[in-house]
């Protein structure tokens, strides 16, 4: 059995390029030599620093200055924008403040106008109420009872039992309710012109237990005055040295619940019983 002879020369693992394929040129043979490659690499390394050293050196401060300039420009721009915004905000605040002042003045004027309107309305209401009260009072005064004294008549003149009668009348349109008369008579000395009753009756009368009457509108009535006099008093009255005086009060209320009074004082002199005169005081009513 024939076997391959492996003991012969073996080819190199990495044969030079000029040994592979066709015949290489002299330059290729030289270039493929390892020593030539090493020298070529060293030359490139030596040439490379020279190339790098030939470039201009970059100053780091210049880059920082550029960045600072850019930052300053942006800062100035931001400052200008901030100033503009601040000015706009200030102007807006001023406008808002001015608008608020105008609104406040407008509201104040409106409130003042409303206040005057309310005052005017209140005055009109008060005037209307006063007119209503005046009209109601006028109506009540027109309809209420008025009791007036018509006169005094005398019977049995110059006798011991001489008596007089008080004549009065309700001249109003409605009845006089709870009517009560108080009358008295006396012979007094004639002393000057200031004739007044011996005592005055009050403006009110509170005697609920005593009987009273009602006097309709336009109705007249009379109450007798019974008084016993001495003959000497009657002679002095006849001679004119004394006066015959009748006074009193009439109390009543109207249909509207208001109390009234009529006080009177009349006197006769010189023995004339047909002509009576008014006293200086004691004649009033409400």
Longest pairwise C-alpha distance within the chain? 217
Q: Read off the pLDDT of residues 156-201 as tens digits, 9 standing for 90 and up.
A: 877 777 888 999 999 999 999 999 999 999 999 887 778 888 888 8
The residues near 115 (Cβ < 8 Å, ≥ 6 apart) are: none
**Which pLDDT score, from 0 to 100, does residue 23 have?**
57
CATH number attached to the domain at 147-285: 2.60.40.10
State residue 6's pLDDT score.
Answer: 54
pLDDT for residue 213: 86
Q: What confidence tens digit (pLDDT) does each residue in 213-255 have?
A: 899 999 999 998 878 888 888 889 888 889 999 999 999 999 9
Between 24-38, 197-211, 267-281, the lowest mean confidence (pLDDT) is in 24-38
């Amino acid at each position: 059995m024939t076997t391959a002879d492996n003991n012969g020369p073996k080819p190199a693992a990495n044969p030079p390029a000029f040994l592979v394929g066709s015949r290489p040129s002299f330059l290729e043979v030289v270039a493929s030599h390892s020593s030539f490659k090493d020298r070529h690499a060293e030359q490139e390394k030596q040439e490379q620093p020279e190339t790098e050293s030939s470039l201009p050196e970059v100053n780091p401060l210049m880059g920082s200055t550029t960045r600072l300039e850019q930052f300053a420009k942006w800062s100035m721009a931001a400052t200008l924008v901030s100033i503009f915004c601040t000015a706009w905000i200030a102007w807006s605040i001023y406008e808002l403040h001015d608008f608020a002042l105008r609104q406040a003045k407008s509201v104040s004027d409106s409130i003042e106008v409303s206040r005057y309107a309310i005052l005017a309305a209140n005055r009109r209401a008060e005037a209307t109420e006063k007119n209503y009260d005046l009209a109601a009072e006028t109506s009540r005064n027109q309809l209420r009872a008025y009791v007036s004294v018509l006169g005094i008549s005398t019977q049995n003149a110059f006798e011991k039992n001489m008596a007089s009668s008080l004549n009065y009348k309700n001249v109003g349109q409605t009845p006089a309710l709870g009517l009560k008369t108080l009358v008295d008579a006396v012979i007094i000395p004639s002393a000057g012109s200031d004739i007044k009753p011996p005592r005055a009756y009050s403006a009110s009368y509170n005697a609920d237990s005593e009987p009273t009457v009602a006097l309709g509108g336009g109705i007249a009535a009379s109450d007798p005055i019974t008084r016993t006099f001495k003959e000497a008093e009657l002679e002095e009255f006849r001679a004119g040295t004394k006066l015959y005086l009748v006074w009193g009060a009439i109390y009543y209320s109207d249909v509207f619940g208001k109390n009234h009074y009529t006080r009177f004082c009349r006197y006769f002199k010189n023995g004339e019983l047909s002509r009576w005169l008014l006293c200086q005081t004691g004649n009033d009513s409400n």
